[in-house]
Amino acid sequence: MSLAADLLPLWLYVFGWLLAVPALGYALLRVNWLQLRHNRKAQHMFFAISLGLVLFWQIRAGLSPGMGIRFMAMTALTLLMGWPLALLAGGFGLLGLCLLGVESWQGAGVVYCLTVLLPVALSFAVLYWVQRKLPHNPFIYLFVCAFFNGALCMFAVASATALMLGLSGVYSWELVYEQYYQYLPLMLFPEAFVNGALISTVFGTVPHWLSSFDQDTYFRD
């Protein structure tokens, strides 16, 4: 998604910042800074992921402004680092895109809410539900919390973006459907695969890196 300064009504840009800034502030308060300060590996992982998002998010496709298609990978980051650091990493990634001129400063708040805040919140909600309602099975964790969760987040982000563009009158509903929403099935599986593949790789090699995965709980006798 790339929102030019004059694409949306001014109130949407203001509303986006009014949601994004408190979310980032709350994430800053919820991070365990003392633990992060003494964990060099976690620090390196956080900054490497933030830089990686800047590069990864530049891979996109789309015909009209605001209807770009790109991977998010926020589900994987939520499972890997927890929602506070995922929100901050997404913020740093978006900041890098603004500095490079890929995203506009005016639209950064809306983009953050749609492509970072929404998928992180939904990913955490699904994880919370799975951990309390479903058996503690590694396959359930991988397929529901990672694969299915990634597809669900893409569905939510694409639907919210289409509604925003249609209801605000930026594009006609026909154009939103023809150039964006009809490609939703093509977006779901790749997003699910990216998140699932990343978490499966970490799960199979260094599972202790996953903040959302308790080995003692999932592998108890």
**5 inside domain:** no
Q: Give 127's contacts (C-beta < 8 A, 6+ positions apart).
A: 78, 79, 145, 149, 212
Give the pLDDT of residue 110. Answer: 94
Range of the domain at 52: 10-218
**66 inside domain:** yes
**26 inside domain:** yes
**181 inside domain:** yes
Residue 170's H or E segment, with its range, is none
Place of tokens 């909600």: 125
Q: What is the pTM of this model?
A: 0.92
Give the pLDDT of residue 179. Answer: 86
**89 inside domain:** yes
Q: Give 151's contacts (C-beta < 8 A, 6+ positions apart).
A: 188, 189, 191, 192
Give the pLDDT of residue 130. Answer: 93
- pLDDT < 70: residue spans in the chain: 1-2, 4-5, 63, 215-216, 218-221
**81 inside domain:** yes
**176 inside domain:** yes
Distance of CA 213 to the CA centre of its chain: 19
Tally of domains in the chain: 1
Give the pLDDT of residue 5. Answer: 64
**122 inside domain:** yes
**CATH code where residue 44 lies:** 1.10.1760.20
Give the pLDDT of residue 209. Answer: 87
Give the pLDDT of residue 219. Answer: 67
